[in-house]
Amino acid sequence: MTVECSRLPNGLTVVTEAMPNLESVALGVWIKSGSRDEREQEHGIAHLLEHMAFKGTRRRSARQIAEEIENVGGEVNASTSVETTAYYARILKDDVPLAVDILSDILLDSSFDEQELAREQHVILQEIGAANDTPDDVVFDKFAEIAFRDQSLGRPILGTPETVKSFTPDHLRTYLSRQYTADRIIIVAAGAVEHDSFVKHVEERFASVSPPAGDTGPLSQAIYTGGDYRETRKLMDAQLLLGFEGRAYHARDFYCSQLLANVLGGGMSSRLFQEVRERHGLCYSVYAFHWGFSDSGIFGIHAATGGDDLPKLVPVLIEELRKVTESVDVQEIDRARAQTRAQLLMAQESPAARASQIARQMLLYGRPIPNDELMDRLANLTPERLTDLAGRLFFDTMPTMSAIGPLNKLAQFDDIRASLTVSGTPPRQAANA
């Protein structure tokens, strides 16, 4: 499999990877713009724009968009994240021109009809309500909000009822013209695709995408704050998140942070699963994760448990954090590397996963990253690197805690924070904390 890359005259990047013996193609348009790129009064507009793209163009109604792709057995969808938005399709190889045409149509010629907008605003209000009724959604939203307080990076992607209802078609057009420019767009196809032919189709349909015009509102530097959020609800279980300042994609410790999350809570053989769930039986779910952003990151542990187990759970979690600052076995690192390698190779068996992987690498690094290069980066990580990083992550920053459920037995934040010390020295205050 070979990745090929072309740059169109307007600056738009097109990337393909031919995957032998397949009959289908996964293709999509990835934009380096997400909820974080919204100005304060635009909170939720990136997600609303993604919805409205499917609600009709000058050539197609919303129903025609759905019918044309499904008439040939294909599918089309979209998603919005903190730093990217994606519109993607999966189609049989002979129908690639149709998929490219539909994607270009919804992105370059959406009508933003006022009646359709009103209906979609109502749908998103229902979505916001459903999220607020789901504790394991709320706990993550509040976690990000506390970690990056008063910043777009910490705001929920869906927006608020007030902001969503305030948007007009002109607001959508203004945001689209500012953010969806050629320098921010990557178009990727993986599967039964021929590069030159695909580039030709893309150039025909996306030639009108313009280069950046004027101020796009550059992102402000992310400032990790940390702190505490807890909400008592009458629930059967408690959702708990404990986190720390992580590392950006380009930081030296990024891959080390990913590996550390795997060692701590990346599977059934991980330390947290074995100690917290299997040995002590203190929760039914526990895992660790690391989110990297363009200029910051966050390392977190999520646990779901009964309220009565909280007094025992938190000290055990903290003790596991302390242990990983003291020693990490080579076997644990090897297992984490093996899991990472398996995930990379398995993704290459799925056109959709592979297209998404290539797009993410192009947006972050400006080029596709070969698997061997990724594994070489992981191969250089030693037990000493992991223990050193763990000490700096867990015992040298203000923690972030978010909890929802029966919390009357959860320790006070100041007590939890005090237990995250090195030789009695309190964690470093985060900016604006």
**How far is Cα 89 from Cα 105, in angstroms, rounded to an integer?**
13
**How far is Cα 3 from Cα 15, in angstroms, rounded to an integer?**
7
**How far is Cα 300 from Cα 272, in angstroms, rounded to an integer?**
12
**How far is Cα 251 from Cα 89, in angstroms, rounded to an integer?**
33
Q: For 283, which DSSP code?
A: -
pLDDT score recorded for residue 1: 61
Q: Tell me the pTM.
A: 0.91
Averaged pLDDT in 10-residue chunks for the chain of 433 residues: 90 95 97 94 96 96 96 97 97 98 97 96 97 94 97 95 97 95 96 97 93 62 95 95 96 95 95 96 96 95 96 96 96 93 88 95 92 88 95 92 97 94 52 37
Q: What 3-state DSSP class applies to 55?
A: coil
pLDDT score recorded for residue 422: 62
Query: Which contacts of 361-365 are long-range, i.e. CB under 8 A and separated by 24 or more positions?
Result: 362/5, 362/13, 362/15, 362/30, 362/186, 362/188, 363/30, 363/32, 363/84, 363/186, 364/249, 364/250, 364/294, 365/249
Give the contacts of 62 (CB within 8 A, at least 6 positions apart). Answer: 54, 55, 56, 116
Sequence-ordered alpha helix ranges (H) in 109-181: 114-132, 135-147, 161-166, 169-179
Q: List residues with catalytic annotation.
A: 50
Contact at 8 Å (CB) between 194 and 18? yes
Return the H-helix or E-strand segment holding 418.
Answer: helix 413-419
Burial class (CB in 10 A: 0-12, 13-18, 19+), 194: middle
**Amino acid sitting at position 173:** R
pLDDT score recorded for residue 213: 61
Question: Positive or negative, the Cα torsion across 273, 276, 280, 282?
Answer: negative
**How far is Cα 323 from Cα 315, in angstroms, rounded to an integer?**
12
Q: What 3-state DSSP class applies to 257?
A: helix
**Which domains are seen in the chain, by residue range?**
3-206 (3.30.830.10), 227-419 (3.30.830.10)
Structure tokens at 423: 């030789």
Give the contacts of 168 (CB within 8 A, at least 6 positions apart). Answer: 114, 117
In DSSP notation, 330-353 reads HHHHHHHHHHHHHHHHHHTT-HHH
**How far is Cα 256 from Cα 267, in angstroms, rounded to an integer?**
17
